[in-house]
Amino acid sequence: MNNPISIVFVDDNPTERMLFEDAMLASREYVNDVKFSSDGVELLHLLRCEGKHEMSCPLHLPDLVVLDLNMPTMTGFEVLQEIRKDEKLKTIPVVVLSASDDAADIKRCYALGASGYIVKPGNHEDLKTAFLQLTSYWATLMRSH
């Protein structure tokens, strides 16, 4: 596949970050760059090239942000709202990945501008499969544009 995508994966759970990284090693044809953030504040600093991220600022924004909903410091709802009101960041696709299957949470995410919403599967193998499907879908979608 031409033009692999860059992703920022945001989750406060180190196990889920590790599972995502493992899944990305198996999908190098879709993804060429993965960055990780453990909370929403760190993500916003990374995207805005602030603080410790200023010197290592990427030349372009990521193609996709995968965002956990329930995080300390700043919830996924708050992060999504901040991204969508920032002129520089508002066009980045954001897919919410959450354990919540509550219809109100899903509806609220879409109202805030989420590009997608995925309920986390209950076991690690299904979660890795979901990660692979997510990245191949978005890489294919972005390649067609």
pLDDT, mean of residues 108-125 = 93
Determine which of 11-25, 44-58, 78-92, 126-140 has the lowest per-residue pLDDT on average: 44-58
Q: What is the pLDDT of residue 1?
A: 47
Q: Is 119 exposed, middle or buried (0-12, 13-18, 19+ CB in 10 A)?
A: middle
pLDDT at 143 over 80: no
- Choose among 96, 63, 86, 72: nearest CA to 13: 72
Convert the pLDDT of each residue in 16-64 to its tens digit.
888 888 888 777 777 788 899 999 999 999 999 876 655 566 557 899 9
Residue that wins the pLDDT comparison between 78 and 129: 78
The total number of structural domains in the chain stands at: 1
pLDDT, mean of residues 110-128 = 92
Where in the sequence is the domain holding 104, given as residue range(s)?
Answer: 5-143
Q: What is the pLDDT of residue 101?
A: 95
Convert the pLDDT of each residue in 11-23 to its tens digit.
999 988 888 888 8
Handedness of CA 136, 2, 143, 9 (dihedral sign): positive
| % of the chain at pLDDT higher than 70 | 91
Do the Cβ atoms of 77 and 106 come closer than 8 Å? no
pTM of the model: 0.89
CATH number at residue 51: 3.40.50.2300
